[in-house]
Structure 1
Amino acid sequence: MNPELDLRDVYAASAGRLVAQLYGMTGDFADAQDAVQEAFARALSRPAGLHGVDNPEAWLCRVAMNIARSRHRRRLLFDRIARSGRLRGSDTTPPLSPDHVALVAALQRLPRATRETVVLHHIADRPVAEVAAILGCSVETVKTRLVRGRRALAEQLGETDKENSRA
């Protein structure tokens, strides 16, 4: 990263995109915002750590994704406790348009790696090579996940359209 580049500029340019990407991956807008904010807080806590990074936004995306994954694992544990009857869970997802809800629901049914790949490429509009770098996999793996993800989404969203037309 260029030492002259201010983290405030990176935030202004990329925070919205990162939140949108994480929202597509997590299905929870508040969680997405929190993960991105925490990623920026981590960058602020050790600014020298970003100086060697070629693409600060990609680094921040990876950190935010790791934060979201950790939170997801903790949420699963919490949900198990809640289902045991010791606690009650709550739904914190804000109301959205039916199209957004259908897309996020379809994304949530994809395997995690496929969902992350599809969101980074199609929603975040990142090139395949950059998606591979962010996810730490090969370009061919990204391409395979994209094909599988598009196919699965087409089937899921097509079934939703058929069900809605019957009603």
Structure 2
Amino acid sequence: MKCISDAWTSHAGELLRFVSGRIANADEARDLVQEIFLRAMLRSHGLCGIDNPRAWLFHVARNLLIDRYRAAKEHIALDEADYSAPEQTQHPVEALSACLPRALAELSAEDREALTLCDIEGLPQQAYAERLGLTLPAAKSRVQRARRRLRDHLVSACQVRFDDTGQVCCFVPRTHAER
């Protein structure tokens, strides 16, 4: 305890001035300095064995001041109704997928087969080519043409519009009766 009493004698006044410069209430400043020395006393060896007790005391003082400032921050209660999460809006491309089954059904059987097997079922184009007895370049061309016709059909039938970057921005959904 001699180490703590020596530190108290040497640094208490300096610590009090330091803390008082940051806390307006003199009683609170004295309480905080006492808290600093209480923490020193609670250490297993007090301040003995610390190379620079003054630095340790000021370090503890800064940490206690920071904790005090954090605790004193004014908090404003928020009404959850005012800040509820916005409704999830579906991305236009995801919403456009609702048009896909109908548009796909309106394509030719050859286009529908190419898109269904390769794009929907995930059949590799090499396997698609072998299944139909085509060369790989011919199968790739057939799939690309089917994709282009599906895109064109979606654009006209669902009135798809694109933004400046070429991304789908909006469309007009079709009802079942429309053709």
Give the TM-score normalised by structure 1.
Answer: 0.40
**RCO higher in structure (CA 8 A, sep ≥6):** 1
Q: Which has the larger share of helix?
A: 1
